[in-house]
Copies of this chain bind each other. A is one copy, B any other.
Amino acid sequence: MIRTSLTDLVGINYPIIQGGMAWIATWELAAAVSEGGGLGIIGAGNAPIDWVRNQVQAIKAHTDRPFGINVPLFSPFAAQVIELAIEEQVAVMTTGAGNPTPFIEPLKNAGVIVIPVVASASLARRLERAGADAVIAEGEESGGHIGSVSTMSLIPLVTDAVSIPVIAAGGVGDGRGLVAALALGAAGVQMGTRFICTDECIAHANYKGAIVKANERSTLVTGMSIGHPVRCLRNPMSREFESMEKAGVSEEQVIEFGTGRLQMAAMQGDIVQGSLMAGQISGLVHDIIPAAELLRRINDQAEALLARMATWAQPEEVTG
């Protein structure tokens, strides 16, 4: 078992957090990840507070292990979700798409561990000063809403900038990615795309199948023209989106075109007209397995790799 400042902070077996993907990071997946020794996360997305409350009740009925909630701060229910996390004494709150500073103190006072997602060293530094317990530094190879800096470049810079634990997200799909993230200075990883392809994730089988079929060049980025880049798989929808943006249509048209597309793909299985949000790591996903098995597999691969690497600085050994 790989012990890091993240496993110590949260009380988990593996330094692996499951991404809080809107619509599909439900209690079923989060419970399976937490029971499996990682940190399961319920993705609140833009969902109404009652939905989130039901999710929290359901996961509590299925696991006693730590879990978290992710809320993107643009959600109209963001403040209510944070109140709920406090009431329910949720172990971890991860936040995205905004500055969580006003929420950090109340969450921490209630004993909730606060881990914002950042895409730059400067925001990481600011949030450490505001009291964040750790940060998730997300590279632009991730699926869904992204920043502009890749994981390889971002992690060393963020770990140099702060002394709280840094969790690497983006481009991590197996034990090699976990060990690479640790080498870059991270205390663990967050994975989204890889966890979609687990038995417990409620995403539509067509969506999972599209990820398994994809290679590393299968993604593109939509929404750049309106300043909200989103990485998803190439399909008729995302190619049309790309053409509209190149043609310079209005922001309103872009937003109207894009709205509701994730749900179409993730829930209804429309892989033609839906937005198949996924990271570049899709090319590394070859199967759909139980979340606990995935966690064990990644840990075993990482441990074996660490053991091999221990010998690499010695002249008689050859790697690569």
Contact = CB atoms under 8 A, between A and B. Distances in A.
Contacts of A160: 284
Nearest to A299: B313
Given A312-B306, A320-B6, A174 B156 contact: yes
A110 interface: no
A173 B310 CA distance: 22
A289 interface: no
Contacts of A1: 313, 315
A139 interface: yes
A141 B148 contact: no
A76 B186 CA distance: 45
A186 B217 contact: no
Given A122-B215, A215-B122, A310-B306, A153 B141 contact: yes
B151 A182 contact: no
Interface in A185-224: 185-188, 215-217
A313 B279 CA distance: 28
A160 B215 CA distance: 12
A312 B153 contact: no
A320 B185 contact: yes
Contacts of A122: 215, 217
A172 interface: yes
Interface of A: 1-6, 8, 15, 120-122, 139-141, 148-154, 156-157, 160, 165-166, 170-174, 176-177, 179-188, 215-217, 246, 248, 279-281, 283-284, 302-303, 305-307, 309-310, 312-313, 315-320
